């Protein structure tokens, strides 16, 4: 049976300063990985994640690069190459988690071309090219996990463009898994449902009736926690998931079954 232990492995988690990304970074570090805590703007939040990981005996460092902007991928990997050698012997990579994303809640009639392009730049283009450049560094037998969304299979008209970006991510995972199979690299999507994070705070935390309705979407009757998703990602990045690739793993608590 495979182990979840990630000792000796190097991971990069995008959007790891808050929410699901934060939980993933802490979980992977807890299994022994050296974790690159990528963030876009909030230095304080990323530093807090690194501090929490180190306080628990793990290894991590923060890396800033604003995805969706010109030169974003180059800035990310240049920073990675420069910083990772301060913590390990080389610039190799074992685990990439494409978690960073944005969601602007707007129905199709209210979606501007600018908003549409911004979501695709951050949610689709950035993961594609981050992964492309990661492959130069990734060791055979590595792991790529793309954080998708239950919105890719469930109809939410108020987030049409966002849902489209996550559908693209699922296709990306499947086709990249086929391409990288000969190297023993697995690629999967993890599909959360409604999770209590900052990105959902505006509509989820203000009204108890709204919160109850959100909880009832799940068959398990509650809103998801970041750790619920992080545990699934930890499995997929481990040896225990060596025979799982090209899949969309639902981590939504059975939402809208």
Ramachandran quadrant class, 15 (left: phi over 0; alpha: psi -120 to 50; beta: rest): left
Model confidence pLDDT, tens digit, residues 6-63: 999 999 999 999 999 999 999 999 999 999 999 999 999 999 999 999 999 999 999 9
Residue 3 lies in a domain: no
pLDDT at 1 over 50: no
The residues annotated as belonging to the active site are 148-149, 162, 166
C-alpha–C-alpha distance, residues 223 and 20, integer Å: 13
So what's the pLDDT on residue 199?
74
Domain count, the chain: 1
C-alpha–C-alpha distance, residues 195 and 229, integer Å: 9
Tokens of 9: 């492995």
**Average pLDDT for the chain:** 96
Residue 1 lies in a domain: no
C-alpha–C-alpha distance, residues 114 and 121, integer Å: 10
Residue 257 lies in a domain: no
Name residue 64's beta-bridge partners.
39
CB 59 within 8 A of CB 113: no
C-alpha–C-alpha distance, residues 97 and 148, integer Å: 11
Model confidence pLDDT, tens digit, residues 124-173: 999 999 999 999 999 999 999 999 999 999 999 999 999 999 999 999 99
Whole-prediction pTM: 0.96
Tokens of 42: 């909030």
Residue 188: name the closest of 252, 122, 96 by CA: 96
pLDDT at 201 over 90: no
Residues 73-79 have a mean pLDDT of 98
3-state secondary structure the chain: CCCCCCCCCEEEECCCCCHHHHHHHHHHHHCCCEEEEEECCCHHHHHHHHHHHHHCCCEEEEEECCCCCCCHHHHHHHHHHHHHCCCCCCCCEEEEEECCCCCCCECHHHCCHHHHHHHHHHHHHHHHHHHHHHCCCEEEEEEEEEECCHHHCCCCCCEHHHHHHHHHHHHHHHHHHHHHHHHCCEEEEEEECCECCHHHHHHHCCCHHHHHHHHHHECCCCCECHHHHHHHHHHHCCHHHCCCCCCEEEECCCECC
Q: Which domain holds residue 156?
A: 10-251
C-alpha–C-alpha distance, residues 239 and 242, integer Å: 5
CATH classification at residue 100? 3.40.50.720
Residue 4 lies in a domain: no
So what's the pLDDT on residue 2?
58
Tokens of 70: 């010109």
Other CB atoms closer than 10 Å to residue 3's CB: what's the count?
10
Could you give phi then psi for residue 145, rounded to 5 degrees?
A: -125, 125
């Amino acid at each position: 049976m495979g182990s979840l232990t990630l000792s000796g492995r190097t991971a990069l988690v995008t959007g790891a300063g808050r929410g699901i990304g934060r939980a993933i970074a802490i979980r992977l570090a807890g299994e022994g990985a050296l974790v690159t805590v990528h963030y876009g703007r909030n230095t304080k939040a990323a530093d807090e994640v690194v501090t929490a990981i180190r306080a628990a005996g793990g290894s991590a460092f923060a890396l800033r690069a604003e995805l969706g902007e010109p030169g974003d991928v180059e800035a990310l990997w240049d920073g990675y190459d420069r910083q990772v050698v301060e913590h390990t012997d080389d610039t190799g990579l074992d685990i990439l988690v494409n978690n960073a994303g944005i969601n602007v809640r707007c129905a199709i009639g209210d979606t501007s071309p600018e908003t549409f392009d911004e979501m695709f730049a951050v949610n689709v283009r950035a993961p594609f090219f981050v992964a492309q450049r990661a492959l130069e560094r990734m060791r055979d037998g590595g792991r790529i996990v793309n954080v998708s969304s239950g919105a890719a299979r469930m109809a939410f008209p108020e987030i049409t463009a966002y849902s489209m970006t996550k559908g693209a991510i699922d296709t990306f995972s499947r086709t990249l898994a086929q391409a990288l199979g000969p190297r023993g690299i697995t690629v999967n999507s993890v599909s959360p449902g409604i999770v209590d994070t900052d990105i959902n705070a505006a509509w989820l935390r203000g009204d108890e009736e709204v919160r109850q309705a959100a909880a009832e979407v799940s068959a398990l009757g509650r809103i998801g926690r970041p750790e619920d998703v992080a545990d699934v990602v930890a499995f997929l990045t481990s040896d225990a998931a060596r025979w799982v690739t090209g899949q969309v793993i639902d981590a939504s608590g059975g939402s809208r079954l």
